[in-house]
Structure formats: structure tokens, C-alpha cells
Amino acid sequence: MNIGALTRPFRVTGGRKFRLDDHPPDARGGLDIGKAEAKALLAAGTDRLAALQNLLYADGRWALLLIFQGMDASGKDGAIRHVMAGLNPLGCQAYSFRAPSEEERAHDFLWRHACRLPERGRIGIWNRSAYEEVLVVRVHPELLRGQKLPERLIGKRIWQERLEDIAAFERHLARSGTVILKFFLHISREEQKRRFMERLEMPRKHWKFDRADIEERAHWDAYMAAYEEAIRATAAPHAPWFVLPGDRKWFSRAVILAAVVKALEGLDLRFPEVPDEKMREIEAARHRLAAEDGEASAA
């Protein structure tokens, strides 16, 4: 299947008319793809992604930032693990953003994210991101009190201002050579309940249980409204969102892989040209190593 066809139904680049209801958690964008075919696409694509990662590193001009967002149990960890399984860890910079530390709260909300941007030639993988500041903090505005902001800066437009700051930050990164892809794993409330029940009933998944995850279900509608506004305010051609059917993990993973491959293939990546002086050194080294075979035979 054409990569563009696989990603197109889920790619959001202009947000003013975006509605989350237009992207059902179990929809496949009109694509007739079953689980077996999606898994085959994923398996075949990992080799291509590994080759592109090597080329990205050798080229050294671009960085790739992958942002994963979603409600608890939406499959962010699994998507990262399956899609990135074939990558060289030395070329990746993965980070999971949790509640900010005391040092991080002493800076602006984007500071800790700027500190963990991928270098040129590398792939940055973020499990959650600065968007938490317009999601969980928006749903629980009492968290603002711990951020040491001057009171007069906490106004009615603070969420809109933060979205504007995130959009400007992403625009700056894009202009500096960082390709940004944002993935929202859109899970239904019913599917989240099923996965939570699985965690509670299977001993090997008990470690994943967090009482706060259950309590957050009471704020489901508020989170959906916050996600919708965040996507609407920050979707852009240089920083697209991919709103994926989180109820179908196997399908979402194939779309994520296709989106990453498509983005890297569009960068005109190439291996650096080797200057003449370096070529002479290579040729001399080749002759020297070849001569060792003759010396060994003579001995």
C-alpha cells in the first residue's frame, strides 16, 4: 500500500475546523486493512526505518522529533516499543515526561522540553510533552499554584497563550531543521475501561495500576475538549498531528511507522561526499591492509 494513502486520513495540518468526533477511536479512515496486513506492513517497514535512521545520522542536517500523547492506557508505550524496535538506540533520545521537578518548576513550562530536544542526526521520542500543560494542568488548574507564576499572569487567556507559545516553539524548531510529528492515540472510554480491567485481573500487569488513572476518568469530557482545542490550535504543515484509532493498536502502529518513513524520505537525505584527500587516505589504507595478506603468506 502507498504510504501516503495510509497516513492521509489521520493527518491534521490545519486545525480551525478540526473536530475530534470526526476521528472515531476505532475507525480505519476508510482503509480496508486487516490486522495481518497491518502487522506485515509494520514488520516490513522497520527495516526501511532503520536504514533511514542510519542515513539521517550520516547526513547530519536534520533532527526528527516524535511526540506521543493520549489518555492513560491508550497504547503510547506499546506504539513506541513496536515501531521503534529496529532502531539503533545510539541514534535515539527517548524521554518520558512526568510531573515537573522543583528545578523544572522554577523555569518556564517549555524549558525542560527545550533541554531534551534531539541533536541533528538523531530521533527524539517523547512520551507526553509540553502539551500536558494545556491538558492535565488545564483540567486541574490548581496545579498552576505550584508553578510559581506571578498572579497577574494567570488570566482567562492563559491556555490560549500557552497554545500560542507551543505553536511558536514548534515553528522555531521546524525553521531550525527539526521535523516534528505528533501522534494522538485516541482511545474510547469503553476501551480504556477494558484495558484497566485487564491490568487489575492479570498479576503480571498489576505494576501498571495507578489509582490516579481511575480517578481521571471522571474528567473524560474535559480532557477530550482540551485535546480538541490543543490539536485545533497547533496543527500545521510543519508540525502535523496524526489522530489515530487508539482502540486498534495494531492499526495505529502501522500508521505511525508509515508517517515516520514518509517524513524521512521527504528530506532528501544523503551520505556526505568524501573529499579527494580523504579518498586518497582510504585508498592508501586499503593497499596497506591488502599488503598484510601478502606479508602473512610470506611468513
Q: How far apart are the first and last CA of the chain?
A: 58
Question: Which element (helix H / strand E) includes 124?
Answer: strand 123-127
- Residues 239 and 259: their CA atoms lie apart, in Å, by 12
Pairing of strands 178-186, 63-70: parallel
Look at 4 and 231; give whichever has higher pLDDT. Answer: 231
Sign of the alpha-carbon dihedral angle for 95, 100, 106, 108 = positive
Q: Supply the mean pLDDT for the chain.
A: 93
Residue 1 pLDDT > 70: no
pLDDT of residue 71: 97
Centre a 10 Å sphere on the Cβ of residue 165 and count the other Cβ atoms it contains: 16
The residue-averaged pLDDT of 8-22 equals 91
Task: Give the tens place of pLDDT for each residue, 92-108.
Answer: 999 999 999 999 999 99
Domains of the chain: total: 1
- With cell 485535546, the residue in question is 227
Q: Which domain, by its residues, includes 99?
A: 3-298
The β-bridge partners of 245 are 186
With a pLDDT cut of 90, the percent of the chain lying above it is 77
Distance CA 244, CA 25 (A): 7
**Portion of the chain with pLDDT greater than 70, in percent:** 98
Domain CATH code at residue 66: 3.40.50.300
CA distances from 234 to 41, 164, 166, 219, 240 (A): 29, 8, 7, 23, 8
Label residue 253 exposed, middle or buried (CB < 10 Å: 0-12, 13-18, 19+).
buried
What is the pTM for the complete model shown? 0.92
Q: Are 64 and 83 in contact (CB under 8 A)?
A: no
DSSP of 227-289: HHHHHHHH-BTTB-EEEEETT-HHHHHHHHHHHHHHHHHTT---PPPPPHHHHHHHHHHHHHH
Q: pLDDT, tens digit, for every residue of 27-70?
A: 988 888 888 998 888 988 999 999 999 999 999 999 999 999 99
Residue 298 has pLDDT above 90, yes or no: no
**Alpha helix (H) residue ranges in 22-98:** 35-59, 76-83
All three cell numbers of 234? 497547533
Torsional sign, CA 290, 291, 294, 299: negative
